């Protein structure tokens, strides 16, 4: 339970009312994941609705992303030394992978310090977030590159920007009005996109990771792991006593609900590797963080 605190901080800004009202009735912090799952379902339906949209300018998109990112910012002092090291690792890999993105935007990369969060998401204009629970599942840096590449491509291919416009339209928000955008619940961004966009982010993210010097097999081994987890925790509904906490399992189930089946993502990754002739790029770097602690404080 000690680990749940940072997640609460993340949620407070976006859905303070909701959090407190749920907290009164039910002290278990599982409600946040349930909201993500609900948002995922709603999102899938929304994305199907035909809508004619005028594209935001890059400057508008960046401004909107900045407003939203303020709701997620966590000061470094609140992170343990290990979490600070994870945060710099996410930044380091993120910068290598984003170097070859099509759009030149202020991409930035952040850890969400919550082991119960098995997810990653991006905001319009550049910010990318990776949950600590997702990092816990990784065994190679190339897997991190695959996950980050996927999130960058949601920004790079305007999926995030279009989401702002769809949400604004549905909620009758005026994009120009400061604060209006903040009425979009933060979970909307964690809830994934439609299937075509998810598969596009997978393909394009793999290309970015390869251009950044990573193995395309990072995506393959990540999807194999998802596939195993999907079978254990969704198909066979394993007892929460096994390995993952209840919170992490709910988060994982929300993730699977909002993304194409891992088997399908894996098949696409393998066919892209065959098509691009990447079969000789099998070697992956181990997932490794190194950091120094002095007097209990993170040094570098």
Residues in region 1-40 near Zn ion by CB under 5 A: none
**Contact stretch for Zn ion (CB under 5 A) within 46-54, 57-65, 177-185, 199-207:** 199-207
What is the C-alpha to C-alpha distance for residues 215 and 143, in angstroms, rounded to an integer? 9
**Contact stretch for Zn ion (CB under 5 A) within 4-12, 200-208, 216-224, 264-272:** 200-208
Size of the site for Zn ion (CB under 5 A): 2
Contact 287, 138 (CB under 8 A): yes
Smallest gap from Cβ 280 to Zn ion, in A, equals 28
Smallest gap from Cβ 35 to Zn ion, in A, equals 18
Q: Which two tokens stand for residue 133?
A: 């629970």
Residues in region 233-292 near Zn ion by CB under 5 A: none
Smallest gap from Cβ 27 to Zn ion, in A, equals 31
Closer CB to Zn ion, 40 or 79, in the complex: 40
**Contact stretch for Zn ion (CB under 5 A) within 75-83, 88-96, 175-183, 201-209:** 201-209
Smallest gap from Cβ 150 to Zn ion, in A, equals 6
Q: Which two tokens stand for residue 256?
A: 């699977």
**Contact stretch for Zn ion (CB under 5 A) within 63-71, 190-198, 229-237, 271-279:** 190-198
What is the C-alpha to C-alpha distance for residues 121 and 101, in angstroms, rounded to an integer? 17
Closer CB to Zn ion, 19 or 121, in the complex: 121
What is the C-alpha to C-alpha distance for residues 59 and 71, in angstroms, rounded to an integer? 19
Smallest gap from Cβ 40 to Zn ion, in A, equals 11
* Residue whose entry in the numeric block shows the structure tokens 């120094």: 292
Enumerate binding residues for Zn ion (CB under 5 A). 198, 201
């Amino acid at each position: 339970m000690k680990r749940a605190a940072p997640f609460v901080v993340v949620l407070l800004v976006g859905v303070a009312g909701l959090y407190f009202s749920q907290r009164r009735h039910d002290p278990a912090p599982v409600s946040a994941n349930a909201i993500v799952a609900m948002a995922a379902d709603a999102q899938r339906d929304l994305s199907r609705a035909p809508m004619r949209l005028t594209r935001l300018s890059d400057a508008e998109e960046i401004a909107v992303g900045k407003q939203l990112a303020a709701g997620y910012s966590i000061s470094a002092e609140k992170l343990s030394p290990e979490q600070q090291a994870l945060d710099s690792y996410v930044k380091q890999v993120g910068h290598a992978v984003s170097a070859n993105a099509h759009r030149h935007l202020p991409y930035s990369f952040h850890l969400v310090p919550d082991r119960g969060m098995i997810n990653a998401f991006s905001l319009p204009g550049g910010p990318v977030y990776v949950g600590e629970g997702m990092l816990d599942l990784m065994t190679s840096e190339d897997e991190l590159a695959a996950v980050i590449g996927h999130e960058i491509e949601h920004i790079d291919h305007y999926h995030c920007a279009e989401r702002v416009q769809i949400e604004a339209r549905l909620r009758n928000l005026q994009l120009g009005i400061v604060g209006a955008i903040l009425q979009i619940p933060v979970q909307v961004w964690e809830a994934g996109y439609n299937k075509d966009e998810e598969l596009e982010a997978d393909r394009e993210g793999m290309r970015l990771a390869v251009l950044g010097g990573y193995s395309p097999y990072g995506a393959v081994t990540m999807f194999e792991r998802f596939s195993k987890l999907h079978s254990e925790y969704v198909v066979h509904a394993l007892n929460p006593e096994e390995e993952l906490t209840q919170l992490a399992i709910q988060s994982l189930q929300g993730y699977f609900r909002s993304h194409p089946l891992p088997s399908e993502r894996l098949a696409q990754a393998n066919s892209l590797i065959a098509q691009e002739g990447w079969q000789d790029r099998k070697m992956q770097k181990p997932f490794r963080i190194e950091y120094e602690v002095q007097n209990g404080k993170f040094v570098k």
